[in-house]
Structure 1
Amino acid sequence: MVGRERVVQLLRQLERAACRCPAHSNTFHRGVGAATCIVRKTDYAFEMASSNIRYGEGVSREIGMDLQNLGARNVCLMTDKNLSRLPPVQAVLESLATHAVKFKVYDSVRVEPTDTSFKDAISFAKCDSFDAFVAVGGGSVIDTCKAANLYMCHPDAEFLDFVNAPIGKGKPVTGALKPLIAVPTTAGTGSETTGVAIFDYEPLKAKTGIASRAIRPTLGIVDPTHTLSMPEKVAANSGFDVLCHALESYTALPYNQRSPCPPNPITRPAYQGSNPISDVWSRHALHVVAKYMKRSVRDPGDLEARSSMHLASVFAGIGFGNAGVHLCHGMSYPIAGNVKTHSAKGYSVEHPLVPHGLSVVLTAPAVFNFTAPMCPERHLEAAEILGADIRQVKREDAGAILADTLRHFMYDLQVEDGLGAVGYSREDVPALVKGTIPQERVTKLSPRAHTEDDLSQLFEASMKLY
């Protein structure tokens, strides 16, 4: 047996060597002459978080029972004007009626929500004592419902309190929220899995959001029959969101290179950087997109393809919900926020609109050509999954190969020919760069550091694709 003096000596050696940053704290007594701790600057851990997910054809019929099981007595159902007349909402309403669940409907969600539309939904939620929420729709509906739940449960909070810094204060959410059941009707955002709610902050003409694990849905009801009502263009743009979620999270800065190291676990961001668990989900989502996305767009009745893309949205949502996205999304926010006159096909809206998935993918060829030098193997693997032959390719060509692969993929699905085709010109580049700068929550996850000049060049390279 080791002698007592030897044990004490070993403990003192450990004390002198050990780091006392929050990530490596210990309870040893700090004696005289103990070494000063060097606090680490990058994170050392990642955390896996996701909503519960239930998948199956017709599974929406169970939602009334779910609310009964939760003991819900007064439910807020949120959707948009167009969806309120379509089968997905009707299926949920029938389930609520069948199981005698009391509810009120808010159907004024704005497609591509703004701070104004968020506040309107929040006011609706605050005017009643709701004990559960149901969101039926795409990412716009689910994100709006997350915000309504959050601020109803924090009635004294100012709107910018929980909004991501530097636009908002980025305060952590410490109070409990009501249960939220999300029923996605598009195969794109993955919002049913994440603790993120995105909106257009009108004063800056750029998107921002709220990011906290506390706001993620309690349950995502993934019913593939709901995707059959998506028009061709909606299916395409939603699918491109899935594609970029998977690509960006797979190529994001590794979690152990992200800074700062959080002083408390509650301040560890939802977007943590690529990690071994998110990689699995993101890579698998890419495989599904490669196999089924074109089919799902070209044939709205192809239930296998649309079901597969619905699951791919979930897979990519779990991946990026924990790893994060980077430049494509960061640059997409001012593209959507500064839209002038572009009218998106397939969307029943009265305002100019560059749909989210479209605003994201338009810069993808330029972005991945730019980021490839930092992790060429991952860029080449993604290109191969999407159909490229990489057998004779050099590592330094990874960016060009993935960019060309993406262009071919986009061309086959008749994506608009760059930013110029949705109303932008080189004169708009300074405004687009200005709107990207506040998106540090995502842009800092780029594997390659970038300057304002780099962003300008990426926007200019995205004016025309083919």
Structure 2
Amino acid sequence: MNETVFTYAAPALKFGAGASDEVGHDLASYGARRVLLVTDPGVMETGHPSRIAEHIWQRGIETVIFSRARVEPTDESLDEAIGFARDAQSTGRTLDAIVAVGGGSSIDTAKAVNLLLTNPGELMDYVNAPVGKAKAPVRDLLPLVAIPTTTGTGSESTTICVLDVLALQVKTGISHAALRPRLAIVDPRLTVSQPTMVTASSGMDILCHALESYTARWYADFDAKQPDERVPYCGANPIADMWSERAMGLLAGSFRAAVTDGHDLRAREQMAMAATFAGLGFGNAGVHIPHANAYPIAGRVTDYTPKDYPQDEPIIPHGMAVSLTAPAAFRFTFDAAPERHLRAARILDPDAKGDGPEVLAGVVTALMRDLGLPNGLAEVGYAAADVVDLVAGATQQQRLLATAPKTPSEEDLAQVFVASMEHW
């Protein structure tokens, strides 16, 4: 028997220039008297967190700042943040809410802190199976207010916390409805400081969120589930489709402009809106093969560091990692839903010609090339000899692969990785 029900959930949303100035008012409405603000060193240097903390203080609310969130969080960096928060609580003065200021890394760090500050156990107890134990929280979490400073992850809208497990060299996540922020405050002014490659990479994450949720397996094609068995990623559905289509339309008119001219405020606003809309879509429908592949691509990097990112260690940013196999992945999924792949291609590029699997793949490839993203896996340090390990890492992401419109075998995934070594 097939599923007949789909679910939809979203945080409260406040959007617009100056929205972040009102965070003190919002926290006061939750009865907060002492809050933890989570950010990273780069965002801290912009002055945004200090200014936001000042607005919170003006409402008589004490703010404790943790500014060491790691770009692309690891189990070790999350444990450090969790330890800081527990120490802040151990003074006998409770934390009433958490505020995240930054990109997906800061927001995801705040989600993990919130989970482990309020619930028993260790981080790996809650990490998705088979990497972790996939336990569900048993106690209510604190109100989390997410204030993004990048346009990409959509983490302010979602139930997901992504991390690298260093010992296993794998990127995975924690997924539960309780992790979704109580309030998303999206202030496009905060994204003007976003560097060129961060804008390009994060924007590819928006694009793939929208494309993957739009081409995901239809919710009614899953087996029927009991209410307590339903997960946040329920498959493509009419409401998620609406958000994904709108996100793609905004990207079509703003992505190249935002990368070319970082001070184009209209483009920045449209990118911020696209990121949030895509998050509202994929946070319910789910993502699939490009994201599953991105986890081992990012987790096994050895010698690549892009411009505009910290240069102290190798890193493949999440959005970049997702994009690297996207063209080949959409060629593979095309025949499961041709009409959806073609509609998506023409929303992104009304002049796209043809009616086969190369149309969407070609639109994505052209965008990657125009924005200066790497020309495939070879450019970031991978070779044919790495494909077996990459496939092994991707197959651990069963939560994501289950949402693909057609189920990939290990051989299918290997062909996607091989085809992604070079795009043009």
Q: Normalising by the residue count of structure 2, what TM-score does the alignment of the two structures yield?
A: 0.96
Residues in 2 aligned to 1:454 and 1:388: alpha-carbon distance in whole angstroms: 30
**Unaligned stretches of 5+ residues in structure 1:** 1-39
Q: Which residue of 2 aligns with 1:438?
A: 396
Query: Mapping of 1:16-95 within 5 angstroms?
Result: 40=1, 42-95=2-55
**Which whole-Å CA distance do the structure 2 matches of 1:91 and 1:67 have between them?**
15
**Cross-structure match for 1:3:** none
How big is each residue's C-alpha offset from its partner over 1:354-373, in whole Å with a ceiling of 9 and x where there is no partner?
A: 01110001111100011000
**Deviations 1:83-138 (Å, cap 9, x if unpaired)?**
11213213202202322211111111110001111111111122213111000000
Mapped partners of 1:291, 1:44: distance in 2: 36
Q: CA deviation at 1:267?
A: 2.9
Aligned partner of residue 185 in structure 2, secondary structure: strand
Matched, 1:143 2:112: no
Structure 1, residues 353-402: CA drift from partner, whole Å, max 9, x if none?
Answer: 101110001111100011000000000001111215456x34xx1x1111
Counterpart AA for 2:364: L
**Pick from 444, 448, 453: which aligns with 2:406?**
448
Counterpart contact for 2:216–2:286, Cα < 8 Å: yes
1:235 paired residue number: 199
- Secondary structure of the residue aligned to 1:182 is strand
1:202 paired residue number: 166
Equivalent AA in structure 2 for residue 96 of structure 1: I
1:358 alignment counterpart = 320
* Structure 1: 4+ residue segments shifted above 4 A: none
| Greater C-alpha radius of gyration | 1
For residues 162-173 of structure 1, the aligned pairs below 5 Å read: 162-173=126-137
Determine the C-alpha separation between the residues in 1 that align with 2:108 and 2:230: 21
Cα distance between partner residues in 1 of 2:178 and 2:228: 10
Moved more, 274-283 or 407-416: 407-416
Residues 388 and 405, structure 1, Cα contact 8 Å, conserved in 2: no
Which one-letter code corresponds to 1:68 in the other structure? Answer: A
Structure-2 separation of matches of 1:132 and 1:168? 27
Greater mean deviation of Cα atoms: 277-286 or 163-172: 163-172
- Report how many residues are paired: 419
How do residues 32-431 of structure 1 correspond to structure 2 at under 5 angstroms? 40=1, 42-127=2-87, 128=89, 129-154=94-119, 156-259=120-223, 261-263=224-226, 265-389=227-351, 393-394=354-355, 397=356, 399-431=357-389
Deviates more, 1:201-210 or 1:323-332: 201-210
* Percentage of identical aligned residues: 45
Structure 1 position 61, deviation (Å): 1.0
Residue deviations 1:446-465, cap 9 Å, x none?
11111111111100100001
* Separation of aligned partners in 2, 1:390 and 1:413: 18
Q: Note if contact 1:111-1:349 (Cα within 8 Å) is conserved in structure 2.
A: no
Point out where structure 2 has 5 or more consecutive residues left out of the alignment.
Answer: none
**2:158 touches 2:279 (CA, 8 Å); kept in 1?**
yes
Instruction: Indicate conservation of the 8 Å contact 1:282/1:320, yes or no.
Output: yes
- Give secondary structure in 2 for the equivalent of 1:125: helix
* Distance (whole Å) between structure 1 residues aligned to residue 372 and residue 175 of structure 2: 33
Report the Cα distance in structure 2 between the residues aligned to 1:66 and 1:448, rounded to whole angstroms.
43
Q: Deviations over 1:303-325 (max 9, x none)?
A: 00001100100000000000000
Q: Does the Cα contact within 8 Å between 1:87 and 1:226 map onto a contact in 2?
A: no
Q: Which residue in 2 is equivalent to 1:12?
A: none
CA distance in 2, matches of 1:132, 1:147: 13
- How far apart are 1:405 and its partner, in Å? 1.4
Change (3 A) 1:48 1:233: same
**Counterpart Cα distance in 2 of 1:267 and 1:168:** 19
The CA distance in 1 between the partners of 2:109 and 2:3, in whole Å, is 31
Between stretches 402-411 and 329-338, larger displacement belongs to: 402-411
CA distance in 2, matches of 1:332, 1:303: 30
Q: Distance in 1 between matches of 2:47 and 2:62?
A: 20
- Match of 1:82, SS state, is helix
Does the Cα contact within 8 Å between 2:352 and 2:363 map onto a contact in 1? no
Task: Give 1:349 shift.
Answer: 4.7
Cα pair 1:388 1:401 within 8 Å, conserved: no
Cα separation, 1, equivalents of 2:159 and 2:326: 24
Pairwise CA distance, 1:174: 3.5
**Structure 1 range deviating more: 404-413 or 178-187:** 404-413
Tell me whether 63-72 or 363-372 shows the greater mean CA deviation: 63-72
- Corresponding residue number in structure 2 for 1:26: none
* 1:444 shift after superposition: 1.2
Task: Report the Cα distance in structure 1 between the residues aligned to 2:203 and 2:302, rounded to whole angstroms.
Answer: 24
Supply the RMSD in Å over aligned alpha carbons. 1.3
Report if aligned partners of 2:203, 2:255 keep a CA contact under 8 Å in 1: yes
The separation in 1 between residues aligned to 2:102 and 2:186, in whole angstroms, is: 11
Q: Match of 1:242, SS?
A: helix
Distance in 2 separating the partners of 1:50 and 1:102: 28
Q: Quick check: 1:53–1:219 contact (8 Å CA) kept in 2?
A: yes
2: CA distance, partners of 1:463 / 1:388: 28
